[in-house]
Each structure stands twice: as C-alpha cells, then as structure tokens.
Structure 1
Amino acid sequence: MGGNGKEKNHAAELSNHFSHLKIADAIENYEDSKYVIFGVPFDNTSSYRRGSRLAPNSIRIAYDNLESFEPNYGIDLTQCKISDLGDLSVYEDVSYVLSEVEDVTRIIFNDRKIPVMIGGEHSITVGALRNLKDVSMVIIDAHSDFRDSYFDNKYNHACVTRRALEILGPNKIISVGTRSTSLEEITSPDYKKVRFITANEVRESGISNVISEIKNSISDSVYFSIDMDGIDPAYAPGVGTPEPYGLSSVDVRSILTSISDKIIGFDINEMTPLYDNGNTSMLAAKLIQDFIASREKAILNKNIK
C-alpha cells in the first residue's frame, strides 16, 4: 500500500527493468492488465544452437500477423487486458538473470496478475518458480532436463526440471514429450519424483488419456512451461536442441487449453529464430493466443454457470 492508503502502483518500478517493445493485442497499461507479457533475451547456457535470445522479438513480429479475434474460443484478444513490458536487458550471468526474473515475477504475482514470459532459454523458468509454492507444474519438453549440474553450472538449461523439483517438491511436476535423457538423469533416485510422460506414451495412449492423467494429478494452481523442442521439429524446426519424434502442435495446444483456467503463470522458451523458417515463431505466437483466449473462455463459462 502507498502512503495515501491506496494500492501501490508498480508500473514505474517495473518500467526500469524493460525496453519498450510491444506485442500486438497488448493494448493495456500495466495497472489495468490481467496478463503481463515480457521477454527474457538470454541464452548463455545453451549447449547446442544458440540464438533464443532473439526469440522474444521474432515472436512479437509473428504475432502481428494473427487476427485479434480467436474463433475457436469466440474471444477478442484486445479485450483480454494484456500488457507487454518489453524485454529485460541482455545479461550474460545466469544467476543475475534468474534474480531479475524472480524480482519481476514477484511483483506481477503479488499484483494478482498472470506473467507470460517469453524466452530465451529454459533456465529462466527457475526465476519465476522461486516465488511459488503449493502449485503444480506442467512442462512440455523433449528433454528431461534433470541433470544436477551441466558444465559446472546448476542453473544450466539442462537442469531446469531438477531445480523445479527442489523448489516445488515431489509429485508436483508433469513433463510431457520426453524423448531424450542421459543415464545419469534416469538413474537418479529423484527421477521418479517427477512424472515424465514420453512422446511415445502420448502416441500409444492417446492425447485424451494423457490429458485425463494430467487433470487428475494437478492442483488448482498450475505453472505451465513450454520448451518448444518438446514439439516435433516438423512443426517447430527453429529450436536450440531439436529432437525427432516429438509431440504434434495440436497435442500441445490440447494439453494447454484443457487446463488453462488453472494456470497462474506461463512461459514459452528455447525458440531459436536463426534456425527457423518462420513456422516456429508463428507457432509460439499462436500458443500464447491459445493460452489467453482459452483461459478467458473457460472463466466466462464458469461465470455463466
């Protein structure tokens, strides 16, 4: 609260962290918004193809070509109270970047808004999770990302699920699309504390059964993280560490939209426009639209009932 008894205005404080780039449909100022988009142009721990630091702008440009009205949900995105803070400054130290993300998302969560974070590499997710407890997490990812350390760095992007487990605790995380894991990771005694649903399992059991399992396992508050390499490179070629035989874009959309009303924080990361033909940027932009529009539709349906 401010000195005059009114809720403190955090817009000025947040503006010190960001550039002034905007995404289409983000027409609200921070104070009046419900969904707060921001970019984190960081890829310093990427282990194969760097360039995800360029993704936030590439996704914004792709988003400009989408219609604001989403017919699948009957939602006008311009009415969804979206703001875009722009991008955090570019830094090389992962610990500093995570502290920046932690500070920014703390303010957004405390203001009872929903952060929509655009990476950048997957390590940035840890910063947002530091503000959360008693929540579930759903991850879309080709990799288990369960190393305790990689290249002597516990905050490497290959360690994000391991760090998430330390923050949230056992049986709180579901990672979907796994098809790459090391012997070190899979033999860890903590590996089974995360539910890894492989891409093969999705194909064999069907997306409806996977969604049912997710719904039966999660709490009423969910943090949702999309590593774009969880999607098959046929749909998303522009990623840092592509893996064949992945999830379809429609399956990822189905998972996301089936639980969007429970999502209290969202990020999308590991998109590398240097290796893209434009499809991956457009898909990432569309998934942001799908998240917001489906969530608004679900909330509207609940209020009608």
Structure 2
Amino acid sequence: MGSYGKKENNAAELMSQFSNLKIADALASYEDADYVIFGAPFDNTSSYRRGSRLAPNSIRAAYDNLESYEVNYGINLLDAKICDLGDLPVYEDVDYILSEIETATATIFHDKKIPVMLGGEHSLTVGALRNLKDITMVIIDAHSDFRDSYMGNKNNHACVTRRALELLGKNKIISIGTRSTSYEEIASGEYENVRFISANEVRASGIDEVISEVMEKTSDRVYFSIDMDGFDPAYAPGVGTPEPYGLTSYDVRSILTSISDRIIGFDINEMTPLYDNGNTSMLAAKLIQDFIASREKALKK
C-alpha cells in the first residue's frame, strides 16, 4: 500500500488489500467506522497444532449466532460503527505478512479507528505494534512467548512478547495467564521487564486484585492481545498449543471490560477450528462483542 494513512480517504486503498467477507453487525463503511475488523489467516510458524489460519471465518460464523443487542451493557451493536474489511490473502512468509499488517494498521491508526485483528497465530500482533509508541499492552496467554528466537526465526509465535518488549520498552507489558515458560526465557536477563501474572496467581489473589493492578499499571492507551490458549482448555479447547489450569472466560472478560475504554487496538489469536467443538470460536466472537459493547457503554458515561 505504501501511504501509511497519508491519503485523506483510505477506504479504497484498504479494501483492495482484503477479501469481501463480513462479520455480523459490521454495517458501517470504513469512512464511518470506529472499529475496523480484519482477518489475518496465517499460521506458518505454529509449532504444535496448526490451523489458526482458518479461524477468522470460524469466528465470523459463530458471531452470526449472537444477538446484536448486548444485554449486559445495554448496547445495540447494530448502532456501533463497525466495519469488516475481510481477510488479508494467505501468505507463506511471516516477515511479509507482518509488513502487510504494519501497513494496514498504520492506516487504521492514522484514521483514528480501532483495529480488531482476527488471527492467525500470535506472531501477527507484532505487525500492529510496530506503529505504536508511548502505550501499554495487556496480553492474555498461557505461554510467556519470550524466546529471542525459536526454530531459527525471531518472529516465531513463541517470540511475540520478546518482540513487543523491544518495541514498547520495559514495564509497559502485563501478560496474564502464564503457566508455561522455558528456563531459557527466565534466564534471559530481560524477563523481569515484563509483568507476568500466572494463572496460579490469578486464582490465589482473585480477579478483582488482578484488575486493580491492571488498571493501575496501564496508561490511557492500551493494546489488548488475546491468545486463546490463555483460557483453560475446558473453555477453549480449539487452540494450537493448549495448556491445562488456565483462566476462566469470566476472568478474561472482566479484565477486558475493565479497561475497554483505554483500548486503541485489539486482537484475538491462536484459535484452531480443526480442534474445536464450537466453543472456542463462539467465545472468541463473544469477546469481540464484550469489547465493543463495554467500550461503547463506558464512552456514553
């Protein structure tokens, strides 16, 4: 694309890059939208169960079965200004798709809209983060994803938090739900620059205490990234790298909605429909509704 949002009207340029698939409630044009959904069907660095490239349309299909009126917030999502650009093409190279995501989200951020990215694997988050500075980040993830390189690739999905630290700086990232970390990551000398809140800590201290820390340590500009394996597999079985003893759906919803009015970018990653019973895609779809509806409610106050 190349314009990085410098054109006055970027709709045609963006639309030429994506397919024509849509999510329910996404009735707004790009020009009018506050929330811009797009899919990134990529899973080529996934190291266990691949298939997250199929997730964007699985999430869209599940969303079709949700009511547009969100009773928990008193918000009709048909009134929210949501656009769905469809999916990026299926690319083979992680560096290339990160560049494409960086370019697309640069336009969306420049136009003062909120990107909502449907992955795909978790490495994709880095593309959006490349456009951002002076923000904080909240990650939901079973894994610390703090390797400097994995399988010979510094942009592997196992490296996303390490790359995020390099982009945002120390004490700017809170990762919640951690229960899988290698000794290599802990011994890196950089691990303490991210606040990792384990799933055990969430359970021991309670979700209200975790939310208080999140609200205290995040700025008024937050990028929120959900790796679906952060949930316990009982809630989200269809993920690429499942880990037992995870977060509940209530935990994650509570964290997300507590700071939704601060969120400037949002993504959901690592959902693998090939291993799903339908619950994971439905939960991912519902999280999109929770984010948008809770944010719309907060902005009305």
Where does 1:213-228 land on structure 2 (aligned, <5 Å)?
A: 213-228=213-228
Q: Write out per-residue CA displacement over residues 138-188 of structure 1, whole angstroms, 9 at most, x where no aligned residue.
A: 000000000000001000000000000000000000000000000000111
2:99 pairs with 1:99: yes
Alignment match, 1:148? 148
Query: Partner of 2:242 in structure 1?
Result: 242
Q: Deviations over 1:183-207 (max 9, x none)?
A: 0001111000000000000000000
Q: Distance in 2 between matches of 1:220 and 1:182?
A: 32
* Count of residue pairs the alignment pairs up: 296
Tell me by how many angstroms 1:23 deviates. 0.1
Tell me, in whole angstroms, the C-alpha distance in 1 between the residues paired with 2:108 and 2:152: 32
Provide Cα deviations, 1:216-244, integer angstroms capped at 9, x if missing partner. Answer: 10111000000000000000000000000
- Work out the CA distance in 2 between the residues paired with 1:176 and 1:79: 32
Q: Taking structure 2 as the reference length, what is the TM-score of the superposition?
A: 0.98
TM-score by length of 1: 0.96
Q: CA deviation at 1:250?
A: 0.5
For residues 229 and 17 of structure 1, the distance between their equivalents in structure 2, rounded to whole angstroms, comes to 29
Instruction: Flag as ranges the 4+ runs of structure 1 deviating above 4 A.
Output: none
Separation of aligned partners in 2, 1:268 and 1:118? 5
Q: Percent identity of the aligned residues?
A: 78
Residues 106-153 of structure 1 deviation map (CA, whole Å, 9 limit, x = unaligned) = 000000000000000000000000000000000000000000000010
Matches within 5 A, 1:1-305: 8-301=8-301
Q: Deviations over 1:239-266 (max 9, x none)?
A: 0000000000010000000000000000
Amino acid of the structure 1 residue aligned with 2:164: A
Structure 2: which 5+ runs fail to align?
1-6
Tell me the secondary structure at the aligned position of residue 174 of structure 1: strand
- RMSD, matched Cα: 0.9
Amino acid at match of 1:212: S
Task: Say which SS state the counterpart of residue 78 (structure 2) adopts.
Answer: helix
Amino acid at match of 1:51: G
Partner secondary structure for residue 138 of structure 2: strand
Partner SS for 1:84: strand
The CA deviation at 1:8 is 1.2
Name structure 1 gaps, 5 residues minimum.
Answer: 1-6
Q: What is the distance in 2 between the residues matched to 1:17 and 1:99?
A: 13
Q: Secondary structure at the match of 2:229?
A: helix
Distance 1:9 1:76 in 2: 28
